[in-house]
Structure 1
Amino acid sequence: MDKYEKVTKIGEGSFGKAILVKSKVEGKQYVIKEIGISRMSGKERQESRKEVAVLANMSHPNIVKYKESFEEGGCLYIVMDYCEGGDLFKRINAQKGVLFPEDQILDWFVQICLALKHVHDRKILHRDIKSQNIFLAQDGTIQLGDFGIARVLNSTVELARTCIGTPYYLSPEICENKPYNNKSDIWALGCVLYEMCTLKHAFEAGNMKNLVVKIIRGSYPPVSVHYSHDLRSLVAQLFKRSPKDRPSVNAILEKPFLSRRIPRFLSPQVRNLRWKLVSRTVLILSHND
């Protein structure tokens, strides 16, 4: 920790702390996740190191950038970029009941999907998609964060966190003690989309038991008709009770009302590459004619 100067604590969960720090060398701000590993078994520590290695390889404009990690004094420290715009949860609350324009929702949602596609294409699950884990960079770009952190935790901590933390994003299969799969991430994605449309959680109850009943039934207040049929229909598809009935992230991005928004979020290099591919295809077609 010698390279960093603590600025302030910005969050605390059952996994540990999130601390805003300043690099003594660059003068740049970062977020450090501090995870207690002293009680973990050797096997669990090994697993956590493997997860961090996966995290280190995640390079995408819509995923919070990993800087480094190190172990010190019984803790694992993961250093990530700091997103000055705060998280989506705070942004939603700041609306004070004023609904977002549909364009804004779709632009954010497409970026979240592009990040999740990057993860799922590598046969990895995020496992902790929620509005508090989606951040806004200074330029307004959406970045998916805390990726992999859920897997760093041992099963007992993870179970406690599911029950104590934010249970609003639990899918029906998790409520029924079935295994987590890529479609459980899609359910959580649906919960985030619903929040952006209504500024509320889709599933809320006074206690865990009633919440689980609501989730398993899939009963939630409808999204306002103020939004398009495409958007409302998408929410319903993401909240399909059976995982196999939910679309994959690739199928979501192929929907015309979303796919036409993708080019503006691709880097210039990727855009140029796509244009070259299109040009070559057109050339081949005209040559065959």
Structure 2
Amino acid sequence: MEGYDMLKVLGEGSFGRALLVHHRISDHKYVMKEIRLPMSLSGIENSRKEAVLLAKMKHPNIVAFKESFEADGHLYIVMEYCDNGDLMQKIKLQGGNLFPEDMILHWFVQMCLAVKHIHDKRVLHRDIKSKNVFLTQSGKVKLGDFGSARLLAHPMSYACTYVGTPYYVPPEIWESLPYNNKSDIWSLGCILYELCTLKHPVNSLPSHYSYELHYLIKQMFKRNPQNRPSASTILARGCLTKLVKNCLPSEV
């Protein structure tokens, strides 16, 4: 951790710890993921995959990679610090007060742009949930935590291993069927539902939201993955195209 000062522990999990650190030279804050390296060579290679994938994901709506290094039996991944928490925290802080639709769509479009970017690169995130969507004070939404991500051999490939968080897992994974990037679309639909209701998917949406929002969620929750829209198809919908232009810099 040479060159960094630890400020506080942001979270702990089975992987290790997430730390808020200060980079002395740049005087910037970053998040440092500290991962305990397994004993086996295959396990070590698997742990390194997150850093390799994240380094390739350069996009305004994806948490930016700074560097990675290994020391004392740990892998350290240094990435952008999003200074306004995550969507799960935001939902809890609402105290039952529903978000306005324009705010929901502003966040949702940015999530879709991130998902489109990784799918274009044949990457499945496999753990899209409100806790892994981060916010900045400037209003940016950024997809993070690529610890479960998988690079497919080609666009038509499928994955088979069970991963994910139960509330966000699509039917095909529960049924132990091969799955592709449409599993991420189901999980994205779960977040959209959560933003509209402040709850995990169980009942219908509050009626004051537009037909368009109801329709989007219904499409993303199609039981057959082939019938779910891609991120590109979602972003091409009339109600979202203007928002896309506002969210994305012209050079991306």
**Which 5+ residue runs of structure 1 have no aligned equivalent?**
153-157, 203-219, 271-289
Rounded to whole Å, the distance in 1 between the matches of 2:47 and 2:149 is 7
Match of 1:285 in 2: none
Report the alpha carbon displacement of residue 143 of structure 1 after superposing the two structures with TM: 0.7
Taking structure 1 as the reference length, the TM-score comes to 0.80
For residue 9 of structure 1, what is the amino acid of its counterpart? V
Match of 2:228 in 1: 246
Rounded to whole Å, the distance in 1 between the matches of 2:189 and 2:99 is 16
Judging by fraction of residues, say which structure has more strand: 2
Paired residues for 1:80-119 under 5 Å: 80-119=79-118
Q: State the SS of the aligned residue for 1:261.
A: helix
Match of 1:182 in 2: 181
Report the alpha carbon displacement of residue 38 of structure 1 after superposing the two structures with TM: 2.8
Rounded to whole Å, the distance in 2 between the matches of 1:38 and 1:186 is 31
Rounded to whole Å, the distance in 2 between the matches of 1:180 and 1:80 is 29
For residue 247 of structure 1, what is the amino acid of its counterpart? P
Matched, 1:10 2:20: no
Taking structure 2 as the reference length, the TM-score comes to 0.91
Match of 2:119 in 1: 120
Match of 1:192 in 2: 191
Question: Are the equivalent residues in 2 in contact too, given 1:48–1:151 (CA < 8 A)?
Answer: no
Judging by fraction of residues, say which structure has more helix: 1
Rg larger in 1 or in 2?
A: 1
Rounded to whole Å, the distance in 2 between the matches of 1:199 and 1:64 is 24
Match of 1:265 in 2: 247
Report the alpha carbon displacement of residue 37 of structure 1 after superposing the two structures with TM: 1.3
Report the alpha carbon displacement of residue 266 of structure 1 after superposing the two structures with TM: 1.6
1:65-121 Cα distance to aligned partner (Å, 9 max, x none): 000001111111110110001001111111111111110000100000001111001
Match of 1:225 in 2: 207
Matched, 1:25 2:25: yes
1:163-204 Cα distance to aligned partner (Å, 9 max, x none): xxx4211111111112342011001000000000001111xx
Q: State the SS of the aligned residue for 1:52.
A: helix
Report the alpha carbon displacement of residue 10 of structure 1 after superposing the two structures with TM: 0.7
Rounded to whole Å, the distance in 1 between the matches of 2:221 and 2:228 is 7
Match of 1:75 in 2: 74
Equivalent of 1:150 in 140, 148, 151: 148
Rounded to whole Å, the distance in 1 between the matches of 2:242 and 2:50 is 34
Report the aligned-residue RMSD: 1.7
Q: State the SS of the aligned residue for 2:78.
A: strand
Runs of 4 or more consecutive aligned structure 1 residues displaced over 6 Å after TM superposition: none
